[in-house]
Amino acid sequence: MSFLDDVAKNVNEGLKQVNDGINKIQSKSQEMMQTVTLQNRINSLAAKKSIALADLGRLIYDKYAKNDEVGEDLLKRRVDEIVDMEKEIESIKAELGVIKAQYDPDLPRSEKSEAMAGYSKASGCVCPHCKAPANQEKQYCAFCGGNLKETEA
């Protein structure tokens, strides 16, 4: 009976290892699919942005070199479109960072939590309460919970 028990135990351990391997493969493939999808969206927006910048440049050239009637409102709309594309690209990059953090086995748990919560440091921005690096777009500090939007007297 001991021999059969050992065989059964080894088979169960082998099945567990195979199952763990399959789970890792599924997780990695899911990460890759999400990453590729987001990167494709970034590339598509970057291409649209390049076209919009070229169009804006053409409008400005026509206005000043050819004395065409190009209204400031049209130029402003085109600039606003480009700014919106840049914001969307940054948003997707942040989402990409969250996905990478979520699946990175070497990242400390605290950094994974910050990334998944949408926390990111803004250059030069610190919490007025605890002086920790902060994100100026957030209402509250991720470290002490202090209000980042309070106006100083």
Higher pLDDT, 130 or 111: 130
Per-residue pLDDT at 97: 84
pLDDT recorded at residue 100: 82
Q: pLDDT at position 48, please? A: 97
pTM of this prediction? 0.62
Q: How far apart are CA 112 and CA 103, in angstroms?
A: 9
Residue 124: what are its φ and ψ, rounded to 5°?
A: 80, 0
Reported as a single tens digit per residue, the pLDDT across 27-66 is: 888 889 999 999 999 999 999 999 999 999 999 999 999 9
Q: 122 near 135, Cβ under 8 Å?
A: yes
Q: In the 3-class helix/strand/coil scheme, how is 36-51 assigned residue by residue?
A: HHHHHHHHHHHHHHHH
- In this prediction, residues 136-140 reach a mean pLDDT of 78
Query: What pLDDT score was predicted for residue 60?
Result: 94
Give residue 119's pLDDT band: very low, low, confident or very high (50, 70, 90).
Answer: low
